[in-house]
A = this chain, B = another copy of it.
Amino acid sequence: MKGNIVVGQSGGPTAVINSSVAGVFAAAKKLGVNKIYGMVHGIEGFLDEQMIDLGEYLNDETGIEMLKRTPSAFLGSCRFKMPKIEGHEDVYEKIFQIMEKHDIECLFYAGGNDSMDTVKMLSDYAAAHNKPQRFMGVPKTIDNDLPITDHCPGYGSAAKYIATSIKEIIRDNESFGAKKPTVCIVEIMGRHAGWLTAAAALAKGDDCTGCDAIYLPEKDFDIDAFMAKVKELAATRSSVVIAVSEGVHLADGRFVCELAAGDKAVDAFGHKQLSGTAAYLANLVAAETGLKTRAIEFSTLQRAATHLASLTDINEAFQVGYDAVLAAEEGKTGMMITLDRNGDAPYQCGTSAYDIHAIANVERPVPAEWITEDGCGLNEGYEKYARPLIMGELTPLFVNGLPRHLVRK
């Protein structure tokens, strides 16, 4: 590659999105690229020419190792959606002007569905206007809902965090083992796809009975059936732990969390409660059964817990960044790097570059055949798919008792 490159991060952060930046940097450095820029706060910051020279942070191997151990977006992220081209040519032209000014030949963008749309729009514009610049997508999302790719970097680490925390919660909930169980309801991210919630199923093993029920948004949620299930579980167990997706919804499409914000559920100031699905269901169970309940939300912890990241995930996040640069070097543009599973025993995964038009704005749900017939569990199909993704660890560098992160100056 003769010119410079720039890499950006976009959308909700993950535990390993920085490993993809490390991968882009490592490949570009190997190819002898002169300047490797990082856009600060994604394409939104790039439009203001906010960039850093990644060489200032990563030119020795320690920098790259620290970046792999840093959660969230080292470069800063954004939720900027490219406007449609017609009537907004100035926005597109500005991006190409900035690229030309800094002799940037190729732009790499790590993100999920919306971010892949940015790659698509920019590469389409380049094609339509005979611009030489190239644009490559680097997959990233804890939601794991990008199509074509076997899975998305970021998912394995979120799944490892979720399964580990669920095990710890079950252990805690079991400890009182009273005559009457405590019903603990754990809310997990994923509004439209249940991949993250499914990861609660991985807690089960020789040392853990696992979740007692798992509800994904792929199936309609029936409150009566849920309540019957809870009562059945509570009658026979000394601990009940249930995982629900924040996106569970009734057959009529209403989210359960919308019920929580019903007319009567206003706070002292008259505005709707923002309380979530788990809190709503826990209140419901407490009211109907008199049992002690507890609602837990993993919130942003599940996408930021790099201290418990999956080494497989870190390596694959690095790889998709690395291979995006190699693909661009071959002249490719308007594509995203996909992870292609080649085998399960042992697990093997390669990469390829795929047309971004088939990926942008498409969401992939959990396959129906992996959900148990009763609608509240995952079967061995999911286990086989997901277990390899959480394998391995990368020990944090602990300084003064806490994991150390790499930060921008």
Residues of chain A touching chain B, judged by Cβ–Cβ distance below 8 Å, are: 9, 13, 41, 70-73, 76-79, 160, 163-165, 167-169, 171-178, 184, 202-203, 205, 207-208, 259-260, 262-271, 273-275, 279-280, 282-284, 286-287, 293-297, 299-301, 303-308, 310, 387, 390-393, 395, 398-407
The 5 closest A-B pairs by CB, nearest first: A390-B401, A168-B304, A72-B171, A172-B304, A73-B175
For A308, give its contact among B267, B286, B295, B307 (CB under 8 Å). Answer: B307
B274 with A273: CB separation less than 8 A: no
B168 with A71: CB separation less than 8 A: yes
Which residues from chain B contact A406 at a C-beta distance below 8 Å? Answer: 207
Which residues from chain B contact A392 at a C-beta distance below 8 Å? Answer: 401
Query: A164 with B403: in contact, given A13-B175, A264-B266 (CB under 8 Å)?
Result: yes
- Smallest Cβ-Cβ distance to A399: which chain B residue: B205
- Smallest Cβ-Cβ distance to A393: which chain B residue: B398
For A163, give its contact among B173, B402, B407 (CB under 8 Å). Answer: B402
Which residues from chain B contact A297 at a C-beta distance below 8 Å? Answer: 296-297
Which of A172, A296, A303: most chain B CB closer than 10 A?
A: A172
Sample 20 A-B pairs with CB under 8 A, ordered by A number: A163-B401, A164-B403, A165-B301, A168-B301, A168-B307, A169-B300, A172-B300, A173-B300, A202-B401, A207-B406, A208-B405, A259-B268, A260-B268, A267-B283, A271-B286, A274-B286, A296-B297, A296-B300, A387-B400, A391-B400
A300 with B304: CB separation less than 8 A: no
B398 with A72: CB separation less than 8 A: no
- Smallest Cβ-Cβ distance to A76: which chain B residue: B177
- Smallest Cβ-Cβ distance to A174: which chain B residue: B72
B402 with A78: CB separation less than 8 A: no
In the complex the two chains form, what is the Cα distance from A268 to B395 in whole Å?
Answer: 47
For A402, give its contact among B76, B205, B280, B400 (CB under 8 Å). Answer: B205
CB distance from A347 to the nearest CB of B (A): 11
Which residues from chain B contact A279 at a C-beta distance below 8 Å? Answer: 273-275, 279
Which residues from chain B contact A41 at a C-beta distance below 8 Å? Answer: 176-178
